[in-house]
Structure 1
Amino acid sequence: MSAARVVHARPELFAAPNHGFAWIRMIGALLVIYGHSSPLVGSGELFPPEWPVQPDEGVLMGFFALSGFQITESWMRDPHALRFAVKRVLRLWPPMLTVSVGMALVVGPMITTLPLGEYFRAHETWGYIVNNAGLLTLRHDLPGVFEQNPWPGAVNGSLWTLPMELLAYAGLFALLLLGTAKEKFRWLSVVVLIGLIAWDRYLEQTPGAESAGSLLSVPVESLVAFLVAFALGVLLNLYRIPLSPLAAGAGLVVLVVMGNNITASAWMAFAVSYAVIVAGHFWPAKLTVPGVWVNGSYGVYVWGFPVQQLLALAGIRDQWLMLLCAAPIAYVLGTLSWKYVEDPTMRLRHLFDSAPAKEPPPAADPADVPTETSSPQPGTAGHRAPAVEDAPTEVFVPSRPGPVRARPPMNGTRPVGPPPERGLPRRPAPRRLPPEESPLARRLSGEIEEPPRGRHARAPEPGRYGDPNGLDRR
């Protein structure tokens, strides 16, 4: 999986796919705020109901398709069950817990209509934190908070998709453990996708809104629809399906032309899923910015709804003014969430990375092992014919007649120093003389006799140390 997913003819024109995906997620998070603006100010639907593609629903499908594509890539790069699970936990929980604790213990006490003592004694206050920490048992209301808003009681309606995301992670994790990522078991993912599509079409044609009920605080009909997009992202990665901007654009055009019908509803998951993944791989390089500017999309998503509820509490009743005020505030909070919550916690996953394998020390070369003075003779046990790198060098020592073979230096397989020039006689190495001792040391050792001193001192006898030339100088 190290090869590039798309090989561009002119790669300098396109950003890295991860950067393109970050841009798409940030734009999608801001579009969700746009989609919530009208209902939260009490003015009804923001988009005409006859539109075949509701932008907020299409954005959520794009989120799930990107998630399936990227999480599958994460497994393909590191197929380790524990590390895979830890990465998902560190990505999903910290921002959600931060916003839940912040709303329950910081914002809630400031705006609740209840006395502070009663607010903190209420089971609903602490149940909001505990239930949301479980993620599969969400709670959306705090006592006395946002009860007079046009959309009363909902503290953070954006969290409703997180249990679906967690269920998608769990389903993919089970498939990967069964070997779906391997080529011979890849057909399992196709079977799951076909089953989800059939289930989704059945629920779509069943009369009554959300007739299938709810599962773990999320509607089953929406869960299945988003799982279809998630599974499409998985298959696009596993089967390395070619990505073409022309095909993606054609799919969206067909979706718009089809109008608002059941067929268009089925086609939307395919068209949107394919389009967002293609857009990430063909994102313009000119729009490359520092990652901190666009990596906070998750924080924007989970903080956007509470910010809009606070603005509605302040009296804003125009959807465009709501969008104009909420988007920059949520963007700042999302960027802070990335810098101080998400990025630091995601770095903790490296604690679970496997330690790099230590290379065993190289086996000792018999030619480099010091031996006794008498080395094995050719033809005897222990003798090894020298290779080119191990060939002995010839040095000349003046104290011995003739060349003497010496072992190569022990710090490598080749002799140290520049090779001798060919065609020129070798220059004998200078003989190193022992260091000369000082006169005092020589006198103390008896090599030099102290000359007699004083009036009665005897002069040295001829032939002794004092007259080396045999001459009597008296």
Structure 2
Amino acid sequence: MGAARVEHARPELFADPAHGFAWIRMIGALVVIYGHSSPLSGHGDLFPAWWPVQPDEGVLMGFFAMSGFQITESWMRDPHLGRFGVKRVLRLWPPMLTASVGMALIVGPLISELPAGEYFSAHGTWGYVVNNAGLLGLQHELPGVFTDNPWPDAVNGSLWTLPMELLAYAGLFVLLGVGAAKENRRWLAVLALAGLVVWDRYLEQAPGAESAGSLLSVPIESLVAFLVAFALGVVLNLYRIPLSPLAAIAGIAVLVAMPNSIAASFLMAFAVGYAVVVAGHFWPDRLTVPGVWVNGSYGVYVWGFPTQQLLALGGIRNEWLLLACAAPIAYVLGTLSWKYVEDPTMRLRHLLTPAPVAPAEPAAPAAPPEAEQDADPEPAARTGRHHVEPPPAPGGPARAEPPPRPERPSRAEPPRPVGPPRPAEPQATPGSAWRPPPRQVPAPPPGRRPSAPRRPAPREESPLTRRLSGEAGGPQRPVRPPRPDLEETRPFRPRGVDPNRDDPR
């Protein structure tokens, strides 16, 4: 995920950014469980109200910033609106539907105060499944479930941020549809971020919490605040803004030093959003583990709240004991959710993505027939011949050098039969005539004497031969000395050289 954004001086020290983001999301999901432990055990808020950074709220800001950054990266790798929408559905719905159906149809009838028949016939039982499947109209209660808990009736309060995530996906879908990812239209993402910041500042100064009301089950004020962090992640990816650990640490330090105020809430989205993106790219490589151990953060998030409610129903009223019991159980449930729900459904995305087409390799140019006959990778080593270039004619133009021939792979030679080692062929020296190697005489079979070599029969000379040699009638000509064997004196001539070129006639 955007591994090329940062050029590390020592890249072997840092993990893949996708793995770093997985670690941060898992830690954030466990921090959310920590933040819910005190109110679900009946002890109020776990964090003092005067803290400028509420860890659970800061974690949610980080979630949205990472989501905006990574989803934009997914679009840059596969810019197709249809596949983009299907990928978002496969990521968001399966874990949430599994948790909702499991609580409504399996856990609910076991712990409800109503009889099983009355529970399944109640309108609220099936309304819980249907409304949560629609995601925008969430329902948090099941008939007779958790009615006596310190936080009564709420089955899964963690689902309240999922409709905001869905609306963030929809907004990004519209931006990408109008070309906000193109280089000449990236300003649309900046304009959206600026508009959200102005809206968020206006709602922040309005009196009363959530004074803007809600869209179905989505509180408007929280929605706009989280959309600022999401849009920041989108802009960080589109503009490839430099990621500096020093800048991220400085932003968090300034945020912690500020008192809890409107200015601090404004800075938190930018400081936390930038910090989590930087941390994902600078995550230590020594903390790399198999993905199955850290990829289940979404399952931990959606199963953490019901797990804590079940433990509170069992009588646990200490926030630290509730945290110690709920965190490992939620982690196991989240890991199982990843292995058997999220990973199988996310693999379906690859059925929609076209396979990359490998570039065709250019074909090697075909050699002409002469090159096929003459191309010999090691002619001198196998035949002992030496290419002797004839001297140019006196006064004539210099002979142009032939262009270099393309290299061709050596032809595979057939395997030679195993036998006694052949004697080394004599290597010719430059300027000497080539002689054929001595003929190998096969060894006689055992028990048989070798036969004497046959002498060639004397060749009978014809009258024309005798006449030319002066033995027959006719004018006597000077007797020429007998010519030696042509094979012994004739120099090797390369193909294409005129044999009569040096003839004085």
Q: TM-score range, shorter-chain basis?
A: 0.7 to 0.9
CA contact (8 A) 2:13 2:284 kept: yes
Contact 1:390 1:414 in 2 (8 A): no
Q: Does 1:165 align with 2:147?
A: no
Match of 2:102 in 1: 102
- 2:247 maps to which residue? 247
1:361 & 1:22 partners in 2: Cα distance?
A: 38
Q: TM-score, normalised by structure 2?
A: 0.73
Q: Helix, strand or coil: the match of 1:208?
A: coil
Query: Residue 412 of structure 2 aligns with which residue?
Result: 417
The 8 Å contact of residues 64 and 229 in structure 1, kept in 2 or not, is answered as: yes
Instruction: Tell me if 1:386 matches 2:365.
Output: no
Distance 1:201 1:390, change over 3 A: farther
CA distances 1:217-269 after superposition (whole Å, capped 9, x unpaired)? 01000000000000001111111111111110100111111211111110010
Following superposition of structure 1 onto structure 2, how do residues 195-214 of structure 1 map, counting pairs within 5 Å? 195-214=195-214
Matching residue of 1:11: 11
CA RMSD of aligned residues (A): 2.5
Give the corresponding residue for 1:228.
Answer: 228
Supply the AA of the counterpart residue of 1:323: L
**Per-residue deviation, 1:355:** 4.2
Aligned pair in 2 of structure 1 residues 189, 361: CA closer, same or farther (>3 Å)? closer
Determine whether 1:20 maps to 2:20: yes
| Percent of matched pairs sharing the same residue | 76
Structure 2 CA distance, aligned partners of 1:146 and 1:426?
Answer: 106
Partners of 1:304 and 1:330 within 8 A in 2: yes
1:237 counterpart = 2:237: yes
Partner of 1:111: 111
Distance 1:388 1:322, change over 3 A: farther
Match of 1:137 in 2: 137
Q: Could you tell me how far apart the structure 1 residues matched to 2:260 and 2:128 are?
A: 38
Q: Distance in 1 between matches of 2:282 and 2:353?
A: 31
Q: Distance in 2 between matches of 1:333 and 1:46?
A: 24
How many residues in Structure 1 have an aligned counterpart in Structure 2? 392
CA distance in 2, matches of 1:359, 1:308: 54
Deviations 1:66-108 (A, max 9, x none): 0000000000011111111111111111100000010001000
What is the CA deviation profile of residues 323-342 of structure 1, one whole-angstrom value per residue up to 9, with x for unaligned ones?
01100000000000011111
What is the one-letter code of the residue matched to 1:230? F
Contact 2:91 2:342 in 1 (8 A): yes
- Deviation track 1:285-322 (CA, whole Å, cap 9, x = no partner) reads 11111111111000000000000000110011111111
CA contact (8 A) 1:389 1:413 kept: no
Q: Secondary structure at the match of 1:52?
A: coil
Cα distance in 1 for partners of 2:318, 2:173 equals 44
Aligned equivalent of 2:187: 187
SS of equivalent to 1:315: coil
Structure with larger Rg: 2
Partner of 1:261: 261
Query: Which whole-Å CA distance do the structure 1 matches of 2:307 and 2:363 have between them?
Result: 65
> SS at 2:4's partner residue?
coil
Q: Distance in 1 between matches of 2:312 and 2:170?
A: 36
1:297 counterpart residue number: 297
- Local SS of the residue matching 1:34: helix
* Structure 1 residues 284 and 125, CA gap change in structure 2 (3 angstroms): same
Are 2:3 and 2:281, in contact at CA under 8 Å, matched by a contact in 1? no
The 5-angstrom pairing of residues 268-307 of structure 1 reads 268-307=268-307
2:436 and 2:327 map into 1 onto residues whose CA distance is: 83
Q: Judging changes above 3 Å, is the alpha-carbon distance between structure 1 residues 332 and 2 closer, same or farther for their aligned structure 2 residues?
A: closer
8 Å CA contact 1:193–1:228 kept in 2: the answer is yes
1:187 CA displacement: 0.2
**CA distances 1:182-210 after superposition (whole Å, capped 9, x unpaired):** 11000000100000000000000000111
**1:68 is matched by which residue type in structure 2?**
G
Contact 2:3 2:17 (C-alpha < 8 Å) held by counterparts: no
Q: Which whole-Å deviations, capped at 9, do the CAs of 1:133-162 have from their partners, x for residues lacking one?
A: 111111111100011111111100000000
CA distance in 2, matches of 1:343, 1:314: 32
Asked whether the 8 Å contact 1:94–1:345 carries over to 2, the reply is yes
1:4 alignment partner, SS class:
helix
